[in-house]
Structure 1
Amino acid sequence: MHYQGDVFRPPSEAKSILLQVTTGCSHNKCSFCGMYKNSRFSIKDDDIIMEDIEYASRHFQRQKRLFICDGDALILPQKRLLHILNAIREQLPWVERVGIYANTKSIRLKSDEDLQKLRDAGLKIAYMGLESGDDVTLEHICKGSNAQRMVEMGQRLRSAGMLLSVTVLLGIAGKKRSHVHAVETGRVLSAIDPEYVGALSLMLSQGTDLYSSYEKGLFELLEPMEMLEELAVMITHTDLSGGYFHANHASNYLPIKARLPEEKEKTLQLIHSALQGKVGLKAEQYRSF
């Protein structure tokens, strides 16, 4: 497989075939993210992509899932993306699910018919980074979108029949807007109603704009208990129709996996027990992003 630079994928795609069709991220301006800072966005040549699919057909016959990398491969023109999906279906017929990262810009470039065609061609799950439902926070972190657009684009993916996994960041609003961030993020998640929510806890990355703000005293990082309080408020204001709310990423202090609404109260009780010191938290040295 022809990989260039660092290749990133969601935790749930750990055992998937990783097919890199772009390098970097088409946005690459988020103040907290250092993943693609040293990688220029580009679309790889079709010959290389097809060669990798052919290689996967010979060497990865046990993997049932495939993830299209990198940061925002949905930005590819519709015809090229359909060509790739059709090649995957023809040469890797055992692959049951293809996934991709998506942001509001790339979703907006696709019509509802386009999204449906992608779903019919095998693109069954999209991963969208919401980070926060608070417009002030979204502007501060240079997300390039607002809450209403996040809701609209998330709903369009759902209407196309794709599974949707939405990522949010605990602590991204700092201390002053923590409560607002938690409430508004819960509101936006409820409006989108994705199948999966992944809550990560902010870990500052050197070389990012947010890290520089932290060093200058312009950004206050939440303490572990404050992260938990924020998580409790967020879950309290999140209403899903059977979706999963995960906070079991390596960055989190308290692993949580809950189906909402059935396990909402039980999960809140667990968090409150942790806040009271009755449940231990992950030690700092064992956290990673």
Structure 2
Amino acid sequence: MDDIYDYPLYRPPSEAYSLILQITLGCSHNKCTFCKMYKGKKFTIKPFEQIKEEIDIFRKEIRYAEKIFLADGDALIIPTPRLLEILDYINEKFPERERISLYASPKSILFKTPEELKAIREKGVSLVYIGLESGDNEVLKEIKKGVTSEKIVEASLKAKEAGFMLSMTVIAGVLGDRDYTNHALKTAEVVNKIVPDYLSVLCLVVHDGTEIYDRVLRGEFREAKGEDILKEIRMMIENINIPEGKKVIFRSNHASNYLGLKGDFPEDKEKFLSEINFVINNDYIRERNDRYLRY
């Protein structure tokens, strides 16, 4: 079945045991300075007949698929009538499925009407992954995210209003060794406005083939040290204030992280801070061997 996929193939950590259906190739934006994931692919929406054929192959080989993830980088950008056709076919072939999820850009959410989003939700897409990266517009401009924090908030709230669960990622160390204060504070501020269902912190890894990598080679960008990244994450956490009665499931368990954190806001906020302080104060931080993270 690996012959079906156009590699490289990516999925969120929480989709490790999901059936991945690659209904698009690449990313509709594909300009972020830190991201190498889809640089070698031209964004393409696969023909419907090809998607159906691939679904049929997976159905013959897989007895049970509880979770299905729609790849690649921004499957929600597919025009709604076609996306609904694809979802209908998935539901016909995998009636046992309990969840369908996908990556979505803020722009792809904003392109859809509330009625379109609700129709997609009713067809079984229940979880949307979105990259915030930063709440600071200056940072978003620098990393060429192509959208402002205000638009990310608008898109996120629009998705929640349509009934989607929202899983959001932010990036620590995205400014390298420069002052991260505004980035940390404004990122926390945006999280407070959105209150996503899931929140994950990733740490910047500089990959060859990206604009940030080229800046490193030119001496224009220096990566942050592990202790500074933990202090940056600590500042974010200190300023994330989720109201009582609401819950945000928090993780920092990606391979890029210096410290794995697991729990919920607001319940475990003080525990997160205590664990970070313990590691910093006891000099337990080891710099990553990025040889294992680069590709």
TM-score class, shorter:
over 0.9
Residue 175 of structure 1: how far off its partner (Å) = 2.8
- Tell me the distance in 2 between the aligned counterparts of 1:153 and 1:25: 18
- Tell me the distance in 1 between the aligned counterparts of 2:284 and 2:215: 33
- Tell me the distance in 2 between the aligned counterparts of 1:205 and 1:47: 36
Indicate if the aligned counterparts of 1:252 and 1:287 stay in contact, CA closer than 8 A: no
Aligned residue for 2:212? 210
TM-score by length of 1: 0.96
Residue 214 of structure 1: how far off its partner (Å) = 1.6
Indicate if the aligned counterparts of 1:274 and 1:281 stay in contact, CA closer than 8 A: no
Residue 220 of structure 1: how far off its partner (Å) = 2.4
- Tell me the distance in 2 between the aligned counterparts of 1:282 and 1:258: 24
Indicate if the aligned counterparts of 1:5 and 1:39 stay in contact, CA closer than 8 A: no
Q: Does 1:140 align with 2:142?
A: yes
- Tell me the distance in 2 between the aligned counterparts of 1:201 and 1:285: 12
Supply the AA of the counterpart residue of 1:213. Answer: R
- Tell me the distance in 1 between the aligned counterparts of 2:286 and 2:121: 40
Aligned residue for 1:251? 256
User: Which residue of the other structure, out of 163, 176, 179, is the alignment partner of 2:178?
Assistant: 176
- The percentage of counterpart residues that share the same residue type is 39
Aligned residue for 2:231? 229
TM-score by length of 2: 0.94
Aligned residue for 1:15? 17
Supply the AA of the counterpart residue of 1:266. Answer: K
Long gaps (5+) in structure 2: none
Q: How many residues align?
A: 289
Q: Deviations over 1:178-198 (max 9, x none)?
A: 111111111111111101011
* Deviation beyond 6 Å, 4+ runs, structure 1: none
Indicate if the aligned counterparts of 2:226 and 2:287 stay in contact, CA closer than 8 A: no
Residue 174 of structure 1: how far off its partner (Å) = 2.5
Residue aligned with 2:183, SS: helix
Q: Deviations over 1:231-265 (max 9, x none)?
A: 00011111233111211111101000120000001
Supply the AA of the counterpart residue of 1:51. Answer: E
Indicate if the aligned counterparts of 1:175 and 1:222 stay in contact, CA closer than 8 A: yes
Distance 1:285 1:110, change over 3 A: closer
Residue 58 of structure 1: how far off its partner (Å) = 2.0
Aligned residue for 1:200? 202
User: Which residue of the other structure, out of 161, 164, 171, is the alignment partner of 1:162?
Assistant: 164
The range that moved more, 56-65 or 9-18, is 56-65
Aligned residue for 2:74? 72
Supply the AA of the counterpart residue of 2:45. Answer: I
Indicate if the aligned counterparts of 2:252 and 2:259 stay in contact, CA closer than 8 A: yes
Residue 142 of structure 1: how far off its partner (Å) = 0.3
